[in-house]
Amino acid sequence: MRSALLICGILSAVIYVATDVAAGILYPGFSFTAQAVSELFALGAPTSRLVVPLFSLSSTLLIAFALGIWSSSGHGRPLRFMASAMLASALVGLILWSFFPMHMRGAARTFTDTMHLILATNPFVLLSLAFAVAAFRGGFRLYTVATILIVTLPALFAFQYAPEIERNQPTPGLGLAERVAQYGYLLWQVTLATVLLREQRASPYSRSSG
């Protein structure tokens, strides 16, 4: 059961990326480099009915992954904190996809758009990475520190385009920066699942320090 829960972390990442790519191809005129992932499930977007259930499935699998991390943590508090942050991140995602999609560019902004922007910052992503730095040592800790930079810097670049999206102005590089951050985190998530699965095989009843 623990292994199945950990594998959910890999499946969650794969489904998210596959959904983003497939929806971007199906959306006429969509630009992966200039448009945000959120625009694929925006109110009125032609791909929202595809994206929302699949992103929700990805978040549900992330919840299962968080439970698998918790069950792998033994008495290690940092890993349990990381699992809790990942669980919170998944719940934020479920709320975002289902209740607070943004409007398409050019539409009047409403409370939904404000909440979308707030939820999209999702501080639990960085919290999960920070707790991972405390939970692991060696190469994976260094990789996690690098991932924090990969997530933070492009995200800061992408968020500066919020006014341009509201005014329906060009946003060159927005989609590319956002995807570098998101895919970077998802790659870390897959690597984390792989590390924990390897440790489980080596010692089913205790977690090594990584």
Cα distance between residue 47 and residue 88, in whole Å: 26
71 found inside a domain: yes
Q: What would the pLDDT profile of 111-166 be if each residue is shown by its tens digit?
A: 999 999 899 999 999 999 999 999 998 999 999 999 999 999 988 888 888 788 87
Q: How many CA atoms lie within 13 A of 127 on its CB side?
A: 15
Q: What is the pTM of this model?
A: 0.91
Q: What would the pLDDT profile of 63-122 be if each residue is shown by its tens digit?
A: 999 999 998 765 478 999 999 999 999 999 999 999 999 999 888 889 999 999 899 999
CB 136 within 8 A of CB 208: no
85 found inside a domain: yes
Least Cα distance to 119 among 96, 101, 139, 148 occurs for 96
30 found inside a domain: yes
Question: How high does pLDDT run on average in the chain?
Answer: 91
- Give residue 109's pLDDT: 86
196 found inside a domain: yes
**Overall number of domains in the chain:** 1
208 found inside a domain: no
Q: What is the mean pLDDT of residues 177-186?
A: 96
- In this predicted structure, the answer to whether residue 178 has a pLDDT above a threshold of 90 is yes
The vertex-140 CA angle with 190 and 148, nearest 5°, equals: 75
Helices in 36-138 by DSSP H: which ranges? 48-72, 77-99, 111-121, 124-135
- In this predicted structure, the answer to whether residue 21 has a pLDDT above a threshold of 50 is yes
CB 38 within 8 A of CB 102: yes
- Give residue 207's pLDDT: 44
207 found inside a domain: no
- In this predicted structure, the answer to whether residue 210 has a pLDDT above a threshold of 70 is no
Domain containing 115 equals 2-202
- Give residue 133's pLDDT: 94
18 found inside a domain: yes
Q: Does residue 203 or residue 168 have the better pLDDT? A: 168
210 found inside a domain: no
